[in-house]
């Protein structure tokens, strides 16, 4: 499957994320239009980047956010609940590190 929103990723990351998205296909309810890689950014930056990136996402589409900070999971899910956004999250291992994946659906 082709993921144009991942065009900015290097080949190894693109391949990893493509596999992850294929495994989560049943959970993805809206088209993903934007991607932000917040790996390496400390808390609260992944949440702040999610908020900014969501401004670019049209209604009925989704943002795919990748983060390495484990606190981002709590922050982003709480933000989504507070703002009545549906989010799907999971954790994977890549390059010896935990990757926190978020697909945030904009109503």
Q: What is the rounded distance in angstroms from the CA atom of residue 25 to the CA atom of residue 60?
A: 17
The answer to whether 80 is a known catalytic residue is: no
Give every CB contact of residue 9 below 8 A, 6+ residues apart in sequence.
Answer: 17, 35, 37
Question: How close are the terminal C-alpha atoms of the chain, in Å?
Answer: 25
Q: Tell me which of 9, 43, 80, 99 is the catalytic residue.
A: 43
Residues 15, 36: contact at Cβ < 8 Å?
A: no
Q: What is the rounded distance in angstroms from the CA atom of residue 50 to the CA atom of residue 38?
A: 9
- Enzyme catalytic residues: 43
């Amino acid at each position: 499957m082709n993921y144009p929103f991942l065009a900015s990723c290097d080949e190894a990351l693109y391949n990893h994320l493509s596999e992850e998205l294929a495994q989560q296909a049943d959970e993805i309810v809206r088209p993903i239009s934007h991607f932000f890689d917040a790996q390496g950014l400390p808390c609260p930056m992944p949440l702040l980047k999610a908020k900014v990136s969501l401004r670019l996402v049209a209604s009925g589409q989704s943002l795919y956010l990748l983060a390495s900070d484990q606190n981002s999971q709590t922050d982003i899910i709480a933000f989504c609940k507070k703002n009545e956004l549906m989010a799907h999250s999971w954790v994977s291992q890549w390059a010896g590190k935990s990757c926190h994946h978020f697909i945030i659906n904009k109503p």
